[in-house]
Amino acid sequence: MPVDLQALYPKLIHLMLDTVFVVDRDHQIVFVSDACEALLGYRAAELTGTPITDYIHPDDLAVTKASIVRVMNGQSHVDFRNRYVRKDGGIVHILWAAFWSEEAGARIGVARDVTALHEAEAELRFLAHHDPLTALSNRALFNDRLESAVRTAQCQQSALALLFLDVNDFKGINDVHGHAMGDRILCAIARRLEDCVREAGTVARIGGDEFTVLLPGIASQEAVYAKVGQILAAMAEPLGAEFGAVTMPSCSVGVAFYPQDAENADTLLSHADGDMYRIKKHRCAQRIAFQHLQTE
């Protein structure tokens, strides 16, 4: 006995995990498959007879309308993305395949929920430019911003400052309290640096216990040293009770100024690094001298 495919088609459409929309010339939904409830939270009967544009995210409405015009002019597409607003107010990212049927006088679209894919892509883009532990800018992003800031300073004949920060005795924290605690300390340092800098510059973790701060458009060297003082004061604040007996480590901060210390990004970073190590070496010498006095 032959299979009646015509009778099966409506049932097959409603079995699809993707949602099928049929929309007329006036953008009214004339048919939508049952998968719409999982996609947008509406039952098919709630959507039928309403304008499909009512559900498009406002920020995507203009670009979607332009796409609709292209489809209705015969330019089918299979890779258009936009956002819709669900019944519960949530946002869903949709990948569309659509074409215009002149015979039916309607456009047919198949909508796939790609919200999880969009979030995964966003996470990958974030991780490409940010430190996964602290969520600060990573070395690559910081270097790009530093080079851009230097070019801007050259064009505008302005100044900028670069801070290079290293955590003192951080190895001791890892050795005594474990690397998990060390990671928590690094995150605490990152948040304190962000609070000190805010919109005035860029904070980055460039590796291990080393951080950099870019301060473009500085008013004066005095202002930069005031910012260094603010950072050191913030680092001297005790940790919360959740850290137990662990004390906040101190930091050594080196400074480099454009154009006084260097006129390119690499040399500027090297100068700040060198200044930090000079300060750290001086601190170690002072500590050794103090310990020697204590033993006498």
The C-alpha atoms of residue 213 and residue 104 are separated, in whole angstroms, by 62
Distance, C-alpha 81 to centroid of its chain: 20
The C-alpha atoms of residue 188 and residue 68 are separated, in whole angstroms, by 49
Q: What is the CATH number of domain 130-295?
A: 3.30.70.270
The answer, as to whether pTM is greater than 0.85, is no
Where do runs of H (alpha helix) occur along 157-203? 170-177, 179-197
Q: What residues contact 60, with CB distance under 8 A and at least 6 apart?
A: 82, 83
Q: Where are the domains of the chain?
A: 5-119, 130-295
Rounded-to-5 percentages of helix, strand, coil across the chain: 50, 25, 25
User: Would you say 224 and 257 are in contact if contact means Cβ atoms under 8 Å apart?
Assistant: yes
- The pLDDT tens digits along the chain (296 residues) read 565 656 666 777 888 899 999 999 999 999 999 999 999 999 999 999 999 999 999 999 999 999 999 999 999 888 999 999 999 999 999 999 999 999 999 999 999 999 999 999 999 999 999 999 999 999 999 999 999 999 999 999 999 999 999 999 899 999 999 999 999 999 999 999 999 998 889 999 999 999 999 999 887 899 999 999 999 999 999 998 889 888 899 999 999 999 999 889 999 999 999 999 999 887 654 454 434 444 55
- How far, CA to CA in Å, does 147 sit from each of 19, 160, 255, 256? 47, 11, 17, 14
Topology of domain 5-119, per CATH? Beta-Lactamase (3.30.450)
Region label for 153, one of left (φ > 0), alpha (ψ between -120 and 50) or beta (otherwise): alpha
Q: What residues contact 151, with CB distance under 8 A and at least 6 apart?
A: none
Query: How is residue 87 written in tokens?
Result: 């019944």
- At 23, the amino acid letter reads V
- 209 assigned to active site: yes
Residue-wise over 251-280: b if at least 16 C-beta within 10 A, else e? bbbbbbbbeebbeebeebbebbbebbeebb
Q: At what angle do helices 115-129 and 139-156 cross, to 10 degrees?
A: 70
| Residues linked to residue 28 through DSSP beta bridges, in sequence order | 51
Check 209, 261, 266, 273 and give the catalytic one: 209
